[in-house]
């Protein structure tokens, strides 16, 4: 690992830990993603994490608050720009939507049910994003 990679790893660790501490499983390799997706059942909330300000100020806080209200069966995250292979592998399961980070995907038995792209995160208040996530999860979990 070169000096830049080492530096970035140290910088993003708190950003990773924020979701792990909230109960998310971090998938860091392509194999971990494929293994998870091959066996997942129920409703999964996927966060494609990012170093950007809208991830820190909006996406991660909104997700953490949303899962206090309604918790799906599975919580997983990949980190765009850091774990490139894992992120590409996760995105391969919902190729019908353009790559976006941060973003949030709601899956049912591994199939995309709903997607919240960066455009619906950046510039929106945390409460509005949280309510959006909660509404989608309540619908998905009620089916």
- Just list the catalytic residues: 52, 54
Residue-wise DSSP of the chain: --HHHHHHHHHHHHHHHHHHHTTPEE--SHHHHHHHHHH--SEEEEEEE-SSHHIIIIIHHHHHHHHHH---SEEEEEETTTSHHHHHHHHGGGTTS---SSEEEEEETTEEEEEE-GGGTTTS-HHHHHHHHHHHHHHHHH-
């Amino acid at each position: 690992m070169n000096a830049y990679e080492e530096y970035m790893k140290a910088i993003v660790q708190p950003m990773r830990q924020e979701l792990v501490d909230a109960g998310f499983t971090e998938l860091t390799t392509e194999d971990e993603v494929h293994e998870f997706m091959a066996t997942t059942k129920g409703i999964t909330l996927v966060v494609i994490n990012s170093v950007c300000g809208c991830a820190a100020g909006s996406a991660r806080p909104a997700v953490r608050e949303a899962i206090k209200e309604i918790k799906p069966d599975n919580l997983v995250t990949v980190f765009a720009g850091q774990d490139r292979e894992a992120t590409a592998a996760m995105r391969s399961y919902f190729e019908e939507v353009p790559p976006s980070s941060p973003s949030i995907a709601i899956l049912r038995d591994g199939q995309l049910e709903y997607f919240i792209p960066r455009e619906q995160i950046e510039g929106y208040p945390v409460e509005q994003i949280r309510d959006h996530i909660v509404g989608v999860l309540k619908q998905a979990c009620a089916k």
